[in-house]
Chains A and B, each alone.
Chain A
């Protein structure tokens, strides 16, 4: 069964360093998302991506964040200069274009900023 895969599963970084989280969505999906979940808190929307461009982003997704899908396969989230408060689980998700399309989540990448 196809699945969304994310790498790395866990990354520890120093504050101020750049981090790239990678996701390989399911091949027939058209909409892609990044969410984050701080430990013990709700899942928060970061950004949605469709037709090779950002379709919506939240207030969390500031200038330090960027996304791209350069080769039509990997979908990446870059954090340019990490802060302590960026420590969280980051989930990639995708879905088809159907109105009732289910979100398929990856297993997440845990980011720890020291």
Chain B
């Protein structure tokens, strides 16, 4: 079954600390994986995309990694800020199925001052 599993379900850290969110997937055939940030009551916004051949990609304080062999991805947030409080959703696209996109349940991140 094609699934996207994220951990932890929720996370609380102090402002300025780093954290890492995990995503495991069983989607096949795999095309690409995106991390989206969803602020409360808003639509998700893409942070980064990882294709099959990419291992790591950074977007400011966000760094995503992908291990296509183990089908795992991580999102590392450096020097967290209060505005990082949000849900982070791992989304995986099938290859050759433009309309087939699987969402993870998300990790709810709370940054405390």
Chain B, 34-63, CB within 8 A of any chain A CB: 34, 36, 38, 41-46, 49, 51
Is A31 part of the binding interface, using a Cβ–Cβ cutoff of 8 Å?
Answer: yes
What are the 9 tightest A-B residue pairs by CB atom distance, in nearest-first order? A105-B43, A48-B99, A42-B105, A55-B99, A102-B46, A43-B103, A56-B99, A100-B32, A105-B44
B contact residues vs A (CB 8 Å cutoff): 31-32, 34, 36, 38, 41-46, 49, 51, 89, 91, 93, 95, 98-101, 103-106
Q: Which residues of A contact B106 (CB under 8 A)?
A: 42-43
Across the interface, do A45 and B101 meet the contact criterion of CB distance under 8 Å? yes
Besides the known contacts A99-B95, A107-B42, 20 further A-B residue pairs in the complex with CB atoms under 8 A apart:
A42-B89, A42-B103, A42-B105, A44-B103, A45-B101, A45-B103, A48-B99, A55-B99, A56-B99, A56-B100, A91-B43, A91-B44, A99-B93, A100-B51, A100-B93, A102-B49, A103-B44, A105-B44, A106-B43, A108-B41
Which of B43, B49, B93 has the most chain A CB atoms closer than 10 A to its own CB? B43
